A and B are shown apart, each in its own frame.
Chain A
Amino acid sequence: MKIGAPKETFAGEARVAMTPDSAIQLQKLGYDCAIESGAGEAAGFSNAMYKDANVEVLKTGAALFKACDIVAKVRQPDATELKRLHKDQTLISFFNPAANDDGMEAAKAKGANVIAMEMVPRISRAQKMDALSSMANIAGYRAVIEAGNNFGRFFTGQITAAGKVPPAKVLIVGAGVAGLAAIGTSTSLGAITLAFDVRPEAAEQVESMGAEFVYLDFEEEQADGASSGGYASVSSPEFREAQLAKFRELAPDVDIVITTALIPNREAPELWTEDMVAMMKPGSVIVDLAAEKGGNCKLTVMDEKIVTDNGVTIVGYTDFPSRMAAQASTLYATNIRHMMADLTPEKDGQINHNMEDDVIRGATVAFEGEITFPPPPPKVQAIAAKPKDVVPELTPEEKRAAETAAFQAQTKQQVILLSVGAAFLLGVGLVAPASFMQHFIVFVLSIFIGFQVIWGVAHSLHTPLMAVTNAISSIVILGALMQIGSGSFLVILLSSLAVFMAGINIFGGFMVTRRMLAMFQKS
């Protein structure tokens, strides 16, 4: 079978999906390779180099699409390219399936199979074809370089004969692949690097890259990233407030801010507010890697570099990988080559599109005239085993049935209890006089209140509860007080003793409770 890479049509895109090196590897898998004339030019790979690697150079994109069984691309295909697809052709490319219904419909109509590179599951086995990571790695590196380019000072601190140079202070927000790459670049250039991420488990990775992790004064348990495929999830408003407060504290100090915070399928969260920009020193640089999704800083202009009134440069480029086209093409072509290797287990130049394979199934968005997006959850758990066993999800019907059953059982129990209780009360009422029943009502209601109230008492406060109930049970003093004034000497003596003992209890009980409660304190 023949695999080919067309020239990218997107304006300014310099990458190419096949390099001479990857072509040699693909040929080892049994494929013939083809390339559109001039496709690698912008990335530094001339037609001659491809020819040397036994790659057939075709004149036009149309010819390439016609001749190849497999087409590898970088950017999401445009309408013209989609039209060129034909039946049983396999397209491997970034496809943005979540927001590309038209593309999937077109592929379905044509009967072409589409593998979307951004859909490769984030599991260990698939790392070699995880193009998002390899591109993010470049973006992170390039972001630091771009920042340095716009920053008028050294990164590293120096003491020279011409004076002392303070080191640059770099803050990196979001410690994903791009963030970690940026941390590595920044520290190796000698800057003091701070990094922040909402996932607490990122702290270890950040510190392993030589940066200092910015901890928040916040206690809430953050969701473990492992449960959401290694991505951050949306954080609570309180957490966000704590985060912004910390950033405000840092803003006047840092020279360079690189924001990389993205949440899957959502607009980028605003993390670097306008007032923080205003607080920064003139000459500082912000590189917003989330510019494509609206930016972590609202002042960011997509694809442009702007300078604010107070002299802060904000870089909003979205094409960092393309700016390093040679490197990006090499990595991307290798990702494609690994994907092909997985698609060709026999190394016989024939595609075996195995929809049982987690990785291939996950990445395939259109297959044999069907749209196969979104994929089912992978059989192998992503990244790390979950820390806790998850109770198997019940279907809504089962849940409702269980709830109804529980509710019915509860109702039955309560009805039985109530009828027994009512019968008992009626029985008492038959023989007892009204004056007794009056008190009895009070008694029963109080027990009810007691039960309702005591269930709410915190576990750790059970000892104070005992002490305080002990103190108030000395309410029997009222009985003694009522008796003390009426009757014989014996009555007075006994009730005096009772008053005295209850007095000890009242004061002792309340004092002890207060002492205990005063000790409870938060850290």
Chain B
Amino acid sequence: MDYGFTTAAYVVAAVLFILSLGGLSSQENAKRAIWYGIVGMALAVAATLMGPGSGLWFLSIVLIAGGAVIGWQLANKVQMTQMPELVAAMHSLVGLAAVFIGYNAHLELGNVLAMTADEKHGLEGFAALLAHKSGVEIAILRVELFLGVFIGAVTFTGSIVAYGKLAGKLNSKAEKLPGGHMLNAGAAAISVLTLIWYFNTGGFFPLFLMTLAALFIGYHLIMGIGGADMPVVVSMLNSYSGWAAAAIGFSLGNDLLIVVGALVGSSGAILSYIMCKAMNRSFVSVILGGFGGTTGPAMEVEGEQIAIEADGVASALDEADSIVIIPGYGMAVAQAQQNVAELTRRLRAKGKTVRFAIHPVAGRLPGHMNVLLAEAKVPYDIVMEMDEINDDFPETDVAIVIGSNDIVNPAAQEDPNSPIAGMPVLECWKAKQVFVSKRGQGTGYSGIENPLFFKENTRMFYGDAKASLDQLLTMIQ
């Protein structure tokens, strides 16, 4: 097959990928759109195997098949609540693959440059491509593959740390080595120096040194970011994996890689932006980790937290006409989404209006709650965005907060000194009655006291969300 065919296949694949992303504009279209993505990928891989990648194609197919078996297993076994971890872990694979490909490009480049003109003539595939490059082009190639390796390495360790934090294998608190951001800055400086070094010499050592620095940056940067900021981190890593693919595409001269890398990169960037906006924080402050400095002492919280038992909640629900449920990460942790869905079904069967209010940053990755509720077969037309439902709270009889904290914190609006001041929150305290299902009296992730728990119309329904709801379900028939 000649080169023209491959390019044609790449064009079709690129269009399919764009359609695949664009199709996510609605739930119904999305089911079709995913097939566009799958066909696009199959086409791209097949065309590459037949065209420029035809060497050792049998080995390639065996490896892909092996990867397929593992990927298939993973995807089918994973619990919906573990979705964030899985996505983070898979980002690390892309990152590592990008590092390897970058190294290969470097090795090939070395081989080709060492050849004589006659030998170059007989080359095929990627090596042939390299052989045709002029001096300037080779310099650019070095920068490109250097960038590809750098971003890939940051993505790799970053994603592994994010995975560890999401899976609970690492402490989800923001942690930094002594030296803090200076270490990151130092590592970044080393990377820049090695870039210049590599640019001039083309040796392997600077590339390797930079890789180590980049791996460290990925690790340390993400370690310094707390659990609640994970939605931003995961979408940021998503973006990085795209940019890494694009950089690799440049160094290999492959337009499809560039297109897809840019699509994924911009997608992740937009998601990060949306998440940051939802938390009213700048991207930089999220990346630098922890919460920004406050300007004064936090408002004193007065009153006490009043506990309530399941029967009290049951009778209040019995009397209520309109109910809004606000799920958070706690629901995901307790795997309580099935119970929530069952509660919803029973209440709806009694003719009550039950809706869900989803804060844009509820959970640990964008749209986390939607996926969990969908898994539990909660119809998506009663699941509302913050903006859609915030005005309805004054007419709501009962608001149930299940495992969320900061996203329902009135301090964001009332206390200008609060670390989360100005962040848009769900105004559930305006409902006639609020029940908060929570494990204990402690503060949430951010360590901020939540005045909601002390409000007069708030009752604390202590206990593991799943156990509490189980108890509640026995009382609501």
Contact = CB atoms under 8 A, between A and B. Distances in A.
A392 interface: no
A474 B100 contact: no
Contacts of A453: 18, 21-22, 263, 267
Contacts of A523: 379, 381-382
Contacts of B127: 486-487
Interface string B77-99: 01010010011001101101110
Contacts of A446: 246, 258-263, 266
B60 A499 contact: yes
Interface string A486-523: 11101110111111111111111111111111111111
Given A446-B258, A461-B27, A504-B67, A488 B111 contact: yes
B38 interface: yes
Contacts of A486: 55, 108, 123-127
Q: Which of B74, B263, B360 has the most chain A CB within a 10 Å cutoff?
A: B263
A439 B18 CA distance: 18
B48 A466 contact: no
B194 interface: no
A473 B31 CA distance: 19
Contact of B24 (A464, A482, A504): A464
Contact of B370 (A454, A461, A498): A461
Contacts, number: 384
A455 B111 contact: no
B381 A522 contact: yes
A435 interface: yes
A235 to B, nearest CB: 20
A506 B126 CA distance: 23
B405 to A, nearest CB: 21
A487 B111 contact: yes
B24 A494 contact: no
Given A484-B55, A517-B31, A472 B108 contact: no
Given A435-B137, A509-B71, A481 B45 contact: yes
Given A457-B24, A478-B53, A523-B382, A473 B241 contact: yes
B180 to A, nearest CB: 29
A508 B256 CA distance: 21
Of listed A439, A464, A473, A496, residue having the most chain B CB within 10 A: A473
Contact of A479 (B27, B254, B267, B374): B254
A482 B126 contact: yes
Interface in B360-412: 360, 365-368, 370-371, 374-375, 377, 379-383, 385, 391, 395
Given A471-B37, A508-B90, A519-B371, A476 B238 contact: no
A521 B380 contact: yes
B154 interface: no
B103 interface: yes
Interface in B229-274: 234-235, 238, 241-242, 244-246, 248-250, 252-268, 270-271, 274
B266 A477 contact: no
A424 to B, nearest CB: 16
B53 A484 contact: yes
A474 B93 contact: yes
Interface string A447-486: 1011101111111111111111111111111111111111
Contact of A520 (B244, B262, B374): B374
A511 B242 contact: no
A523 B260 CA distance: 35
Contacts of A457: 21, 24-25
A465 to B, nearest CB: 5
A205 to B, nearest CB: 16
B361 to A, nearest CB: 11
A238 interface: no
A520 B27 contact: yes
A153 B385 CA distance: 54
A432 interface: yes
Interface of B: 17-18, 20-22, 24-27, 30-31, 34, 37-38, 40-41, 44-45, 48-49, 52-57, 59-60, 63-68, 70-72, 74-76, 78, 80, 83, 86-87, 90-91, 93-94, 96-98, 100-101, 103-105, 107-108, 111, 123-127, 134, 136-137, 140, 234-235, 238, 241-242, 244-246, 248-250, 252-268, 270-271, 274, 358, 360, 365-368, 370-371, 374-375, 377, 379-383, 385, 391, 395
**A-B interface, 5 closest residue pairs, ranked by CB to CB distance from nearest:** A485-B55, A503-B67, A523-B379, A450-B266, A462-B366
